[in-house]
Structures are given as C-alpha cells and as structure tokens.
Amino acid sequence: MKLLEGKRILVTGVANRWSIAAGIARKMHEHGAQLAFTYQGERVKASVEEIAAELGGGPVIECDVSSDASLAAMRDALAAHGKLDGLVHSIAFVDKASLSGKVYEIPRDGFKLSMDVSSYSLIALVQTLRETLNDGASVLAMTYLGATQIVPNYNLAGIAKAALESIVRYLAFDLGERGIRVNAISAGPIKTASSRQVGGFSKILEIVPKVAPLKRNITIEDVGNVAVYLTSALASTITADVHFVDAGYHAMGMYPPDVTL
C-alpha cells in the first residue's frame, strides 16, 4: 500500500544522499509521492539534482531561506507544478565556533544568523507557501533532543531547535483551521555532514546503543518511515507534537547501572 500516492511534497535541506532529508525523500518516493526539492548554493546543486533524478525527476529549485526575494522566486517556480500536500523542513545552520565553548560566549551576529536559518526559516517557508499548500497538508520539521535537554557541544544548535519546536506548535494552531498539520521529528544521532560538526559526536553514537531501550542507533530510513506516516492520512488528527525517532533514548532518566561508557 502506497500511503502518499499522488501527493506533492517539497523537501528542503538535502545536501547529499546521506542527509536525513534524503532518507525522508526516498521513503516518500517509495510511497508514491511526487517530490520537489530546494537547494542553497552551487556546492550542493549537482548532488540534489542527482537525487531528484533518482526519485522521480521532480523540480529542483534554488532557495536561500534567509532571503525573502529568493523565497518568492522559489514559490513562483513551484507554481507551474501545482499545489503542495506536504513540506519537509530540514534546514539548520550554526557557525562551528558556536558549537563549542560557553553559551555566554556566543556572539550576537552568530545568534541572529542561526535563529534566522534554523528557526525562523520554518515561518518564512509557511508564510511564502501558505497559498500553495492544500488544505489538509502536512508540514514537518526536523529537531533533536538538544532542544529540551543539555547535550554538551550542541549549544546554539539546541537553542535554535528549542525555538523551532515552539514555532511548530504555534503554526499548528494557526493552520489548524485549514486542516494543515504541523509536527516535528526528533531524530536520534545519525552520521551526517552537519552532525559531524558537533564535538564528541562519535562518542554519542557509541553511547546510544548501550543505553537506548531498543539497543541500537537509528538510520535516515527510520526517520523516513515516520515522516511518511505523519504526512499520510493515517496521521490526519496528529499535530503540534514532537515525535521521537531515537530507539527510545529520550525516555531514559538514568543510564542502566551495568552500562560501561
């Protein structure tokens, strides 16, 4: 059974085939979705175009989410392809210097940029595409445990994700009258280009399988499966929530006493 047959979905944030957004796109394609992609910068354009070609050959459109003009141009380019039934927000940026050291050392400019790209961009996308989204559409944002709990070296990224999760709830309220659902997926640690910027990340990957109830790390395909469900009619009454895809790690209040870290 294909849960997304005939649905048109815009996926943002694909950088390469190992990106969480790429895993989501792949699973959505398997379930019949017609996909469109955005990219930012020539550095990733070819990679996104290659993935798009593999997943149905949908449009690939440049979009800088920090630019209103770029967002409007993206909307206009999408117009020729019809309305959207889904939007996947998988965009974040934090200067590497703000992923270490003390939070009180974060510069004002770095804070502004991170909050703009990582958090406000969800508002900006919905604002730009609100008339392009069909009633009953699904909006998904990617977040992480560091939004609500201290993850050393996640720092400003965690602060930005906390804002993003709050935005999810408020957008869900504002869009609910149109039946548009807004949710977040809090994925466990996955080896991606962005996650490797976090100090001690390899150690996190070692700890999770020892501690999580399911005793394993997760994959981009695991996240993709949940994204398909949340975008499908099966989740028609689910909104304003954060859904953990982390093998249960988020529920652990203390490590098991027999675990050697």
Q: Classify residue 89: in a domain, yes or no.
A: yes
Residues annotated catalytic, as ranges: 144, 154
Q: Classify residue 1: in a domain, yes or no.
A: no
Taking only the tens place, the pLDDT of each residue in 19-54 is 999 999 999 999 999 999 999 999 999 999 999 999
The chain-wide mean pLDDT, for the chain, equals: 95
Residue numbers of the domain that contains 30: 8-246
How high is the pLDDT of residue 192? 73
Confidence of residue 255 (pLDDT cuts 50, 70, 90): confident
Q: Classify residue 252: in a domain, yes or no.
A: no
Distance (Å, rounded) from C-alpha 71 to C-alpha 38? 10
Q: Classify residue 121: in a domain, yes or no.
A: yes
Taking only the tens place, the pLDDT of each residue in 193-206 is 666 666 567 788 99
Q: Classify residue 95: in a domain, yes or no.
A: yes
Q: Classify residue 97: in a domain, yes or no.
A: yes
The average pLDDT across 109-130 equals 97
How high is the pLDDT of residue 260? 79
Q: Is the pLDDT of residue 121 over 80?
A: yes
Tokens of 142: 């990617």
How high is the pLDDT of residue 6? 96
Q: Classify residue 39: in a domain, yes or no.
A: yes
Q: Is the pLDDT of residue 71 over 70?
A: yes
Q: Any alpha helices (H) in the chain, and if so which ranges?
A: 20-30, 42-54, 68-79, 108-115, 121-129, 155-175, 201-211, 220-231
How high is the pLDDT of residue 193? 65
Q: Classify residue 258: in a domain, yes or no.
A: no
Q: Is the pLDDT of residue 57 over 60?
A: yes
CATH number assigned to the domain comprising residue 178: 3.40.50.720
DSSP-assigned states of every residue in 221-244: HHHHHHHHHHHSGGGTT--SEEEE
How high is the pLDDT of residue 209? 94
Confidence of residue 124 (pLDDT cuts 50, 70, 90): very high
Total tally of structural domains belonging to the chain? 1
Lowest average pLDDT, out of 158-162, 202-206, 256-260, goes to 256-260
Distance (Å, rounded) from C-alpha 17 to C-alpha 2? 22
Distance (Å, rounded) from C-alpha 227 to C-alpha 238? 12
Single pTM value for the model: 0.96
Distance (Å, rounded) from C-alpha 199 to C-alpha 189? 13
Tokens of 147: 């939004």
